[in-house]
């Protein structure tokens, strides 16, 4: 079963625009992670935010976490065509394995 659900399922924007993806989850977590997957390839770890953190930045990425609402958002600023990919949130709970959401497909038009 999947813990996280991303919203929207698909997103199409123009280069230079910002892209925002949301993730909701159901149970308490230790941390939440975001991954990117280019078509048919392995996933690439983008950023990890712990349950006691509210916001984290990495380059053009900004992640927020609201544990009271059990939700997170990933913002990609000044998007590029190379950002076209699927983005997944994943939650870590105790010693259990990472549980992935269903993903958001991002298309950045040049």
Partner 1 sequence: KAGVTQTPRYLIKTRGQQVTLSCSPISGHRSVSWYQQTPGQGLQFLFEYFSETQRNKGNFPGRFSGRQFSNSRSEMNVSTLELGDSALYLCASSLGTEHYGYTFGSGTRLTVV
Which residues here bind partner 1, judged by CB under 8 A?
A: 1-2, 30-31, 33, 35, 40-45, 48, 50, 88, 92, 94-103
Say which DSSP state 27 is in. S
Helix then strand then coil, in percent of the chain rounded to 5, is 5, 55, 40
Judged by beta carbon, residue 41 or residue 57, the one nearer partner 1 is 41
C-beta of 31: minimal distance to partner 1 in Å?
6
If the CB atoms of residues 26 and 41 are measured against partner 1, the closer one turns out to be 41
């Amino acid at each position: 079963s999947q813990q996280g659900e991303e919203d929207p399922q698909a997103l199409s924007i123009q280069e230079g625009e910002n892209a925002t993806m949301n993730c909701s989850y159901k149970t308490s977590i230790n941390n939440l992670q975001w991954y990117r997957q280019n078509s048919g390839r392995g996933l690439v770890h983008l950023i990890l935010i712990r349950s006691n953190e509210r916001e984290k930045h990495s380059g053009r990425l900004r992640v927020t976490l609201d544990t009271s609402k059990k939700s997170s958002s990933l913002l990609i600023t000044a998007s590029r065509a190379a950002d076209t990919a699927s983005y997944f949130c994943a939650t870590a709970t105790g010693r259990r394995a990472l549980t992935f959401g269903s993903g958001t497909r991002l298309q950045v038009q040049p």
